[in-house]
Structure 1
């Protein structure tokens, strides 16, 4: 069988990287609650997508609001715009078009999960003032509070390699298909996020994934960090049970995790940068490039 599904799960360390609606003068983090009542902050897939598209220089797809909803312009096609090729679209079509409901849609080729914290939120608040400006004008000081959480986060990207660059009668060159996927991989390797005057580094500290015959995000919701140690046994079992050995690449950043030696020995881990090189080579192999 062709190995048409590329998936990679990553861990990064970040602080307070996505806020939701505030209450009064309190900025609240986006959070979800598990059955044990622990809360975990997360960075929504929409926020992650925004940063990925922006840093890939793909945020040029034209939009319009003629239908009453801001959406991609009907004239935009995947031939010219990688954003809607990889992340999909919904475009309202004119009356008489064959699409049901008057809309043309494309499901995402690159599917992105939320980046969910691996350590529970403990309710920490940062006390904020604008004292520096207030004293300049002899004005009253403004006071605000902001929830803060520093944690490891994990997220997954899964790409259907056989669907890249194909939409109806459009079928772009294989070289361009490969280039789009490699740009996406490069962006994830060096991803960052600007928020509240900070630039958070979302570059992965641990990665695991590969190109497989099943388009399953195998490692999503399987990677954990307990006591600063990665759950090696779970990942070993997953690789063995699904016959992923030989196709899976693992990368780890030196000096971060307490069981780094075990990860390197048991999962044959290399550096994070080396894994991304392997994945780009897999993309070249799939699309038949010689280099």
Structure 2
């Protein structure tokens, strides 16, 4: 059977990287609640996609609003614009005198989850003023508060390798397919996010995944943190559950980040995060090489 599903679950360390609607003079983090009533901040998949596309230089796909909604232009295609090759599109044609408006859609080939914190939000607030500017002209200074949290976050990417670069009768070369996926992986490896005057490093400090027969994000929602240590038993159980997963999973960790660094290397045979990305790019070349 063909291994055409690539998935990678990653953990990174960041601070206050995605805000939602404010309440009064308080800027609030995007958060969700669990059954324990604890709140966890998260970075939305839309925010992650924005940063990925921007850093890839793929944010040039034309758009228009003739249909009444801002969408990708009907002329945009996957050959010229990798953004819609990876993340899909809906292109709606405007209604004319003799025809009804129609929609042409492509579902996402590359999927992102939200990056959810592995540690609960503790209601920390930052007190802000603009007193430095106000003093220049003896003006009243504004006061604001901003929710803050520094935490480990986990998110997952999944890629349908067999659908990259194929849209109906249109198909790009296997070389271009492989190049696009490898550029995407390079960007994920060194991803960052600019927010509120800060540049947050979203490069993974832990990564687990591979190329599999099933297109399943096996390790999504399976990475947990307890007292600064990653739960290896849960991950080991998933790896041992199937020969395909066992034979094709690679694990990487940045030394000195987690309390059970030695256990990760011993039990899960973790190498470096860079080694994981090298292996995944090798898998991409092997897959598309076999397509020739």
Which of the five TM-score ranges fits, normalised by the shorter chain? over 0.9
1:75 matches 2:71:
no
Q: CA deviation at 1:94?
A: 5.0
Describe the SS at the equivalent of 2:188: helix
1:277 aligns with 2:264: no
Alpha-carbon separation, structure 2, partners of 1:269 and 1:246? 14
Query: Is residue 86 of structure 1 aligned with residue 86 of structure 2?
Result: yes
Matched with 2:151 is 151
Task: Give the structure 2 partner of residue 32 of structure 1.
Answer: 32
Pairs aligned (count): 288
Is residue 247 of structure 1 aligned with residue 279 of structure 2? no
Residues 175, 289 of structure 1: 8 Å contact kept: no
Matched-pair contact (CA < 8 Å) for 2:95–2:101: no
**SS where residue 85 of structure 2 aligns?**
helix
The corresponding residue for 2:172 is 172
What is the CA–CA distance in structure 1 between the aligned matches of 2:290 and 2:214, rounded to whole Å?
22
Could you say which residue in structure 2 is the equivalent of 1:136? 136
Q: Offset of 1:285 from its aligned partner?
A: 0.2
Asked whether the 8 Å contact 2:78–2:167 carries over to 1, the reply is yes
What is the CA-CA distance between 1:137 and the residue it aligns to?
Answer: 1.0
What is the DSSP-based 3-state SS (H/G/I as helix, E as strand, rest coil) of the residue aligned with 2:137? Answer: coil
Query: Higher mean Cα deviation, 24-33 or 240-249?
Result: 240-249
Offset from partner CA, 1:182-216 (integer Å, 9 cap, x none):
01100000000000000000000000000000000
Paired residues for 1:192-207 under 5 Å? 192-207=192-207
The alpha carbon displacement at 1:289 in A equals 7.3
Name the structure 2 match of 1:4: 4
Q: Deviations over 1:195-248 (max 9, x none)?
A: 000000000000000000000000000011111101111100001113211200
The runs of at least 4 aligned residues of structure 1 exceeding 2 Å deviation read: 93-96
1:105-138 deviations in whole A, cap 9, x for unaligned?
Answer: 0000000000000000011100000011000111
Contact 2:94 2:101 (8 Å CA) reproduced: no
1:17 aligned residue: 17
CA contact (8 A) 1:207 1:252 kept: yes
CA distance in structure 1 between the aligned counterparts of 2:132 and 2:5, rounded to whole angstroms: 53
Cα distance in structure 2, aligned partners of 1:235 and 1:272: 17
Superposition pairs of residues 100-111 of structure 1, within 5 angstroms = 102-111=102-111
3-state SS of the aligned residue for 1:245?
A: helix
Structure 1, unaligned stretches of length 5 or more?
A: none
Look up the match of 1:186.
186
Query: How many angstroms does 1:54 deviate by?
Result: 0.4
Q: Rate the CA distance shift 1:101–1:117 in 2: closer, same or farther, 3 A.
A: farther
The answer for the alignment partner of 2:113 in structure 1 is 113
Structure 2 residues not aligned, in runs of 5+: none
SS of residue paired to 1:176? helix
The separation in 2 between residues aligned to 1:207 and 1:137, in whole angstroms, is 51
Question: SS state of the match for residue 126, structure 1?
Answer: strand
Secondary structure of 2:240 counterpart: helix
Matched, 1:231 2:231: yes
Which residue number in structure 1 is paired with residue 287 of structure 2? 286
RMSD: 1.5
